[in-house]
Amino acid sequence: MDHSITNPVIGKFRAEFSMDYAGTIYLLILNRITSGYTREELAFLMGQDENYIKDMEELKIPIGNLEVMVHLHLVFDRGKLQIDAYDSRSAYLFEMSIWEEDGVRYYQMEYFINEVETILFFRLMEELRKK
């Protein structure tokens, strides 16, 4: 049986930000998946172009503006999960990896504790709809 990844990493994206911000990315992806929305559907519900959510998930554009948070709150209409600061550091280097395999998209975020070692922050899976 062949266990090789048929479609390797779609992308690895690095950025420096706080644990709270990383938690916001996690909640965005988790709420989107559990609500059954594709990236494009959520972007449509927010009145944005179809790549808007994809770009946020890939750390290409920031989440932190009030208009975005209001739109997300209106779409999900859920209570907030508080993610407390873990220590006094205001910024960590994070790396988001996204890949697809056998009809599933994987999201994995890690943060660097030094120049070479990382700790897993989260890993989520999303079953892709057939087009």
Percent of the chain with pLDDT over 90: 34
Q: For residue 4, is it within any domain?
A: no
Q: For residue 89, is it within any domain?
A: yes
Q: What is the pLDDT of residues 96-110, one digit of tens each?
A: 999 999 999 999 999
Q: For residue 3, is it within any domain?
A: no
Q: Give mean pLDDT, residues 127-131.
A: 82
Q: What is the overall mean pLDDT for the chain?
A: 80
**Percentage helix, strand, coil, to 5, in the chain?**
30, 30, 40
Q: For residue 76, is it within any domain?
A: yes
The confidence score (pLDDT) of residue 92 equals 87
Task: Note whether 95 and 112 are within 8 A (CB).
Answer: yes
Q: What's the CA gap between 104 and 14, in Å, rounded?
A: 22
Terminal-to-terminal C-alpha distance of the chain: 27
CATH of the domain at 59: 1.10.260.40
The confidence score (pLDDT) of residue 116 equals 86
Whose CA is closest to 31, among 96, 76, 80? 76
The confidence score (pLDDT) of residue 45 equals 87
Q: For residue 65, is it within any domain?
A: yes
86, pLDDT greater than 60: no
Domain that holds residue 116: 9-127
* CB atoms near residue 105 (< 10 Å): 20
Q: For residue 27, is it within any domain?
A: yes
User: How many domains are there within the chain?
Assistant: 1
Q: For residue 22, is it within any domain?
A: yes
Q: If DSSP codes are grouped into helix, strand and coil, which group holds residue 54?
A: helix
The confidence score (pLDDT) of residue 82 equals 43
Q: pLDDT band for position 19 (50/70/90)?
A: confident
Q: For residue 60, is it within any domain?
A: yes
Q: What is the pTM of this model?
A: 0.71
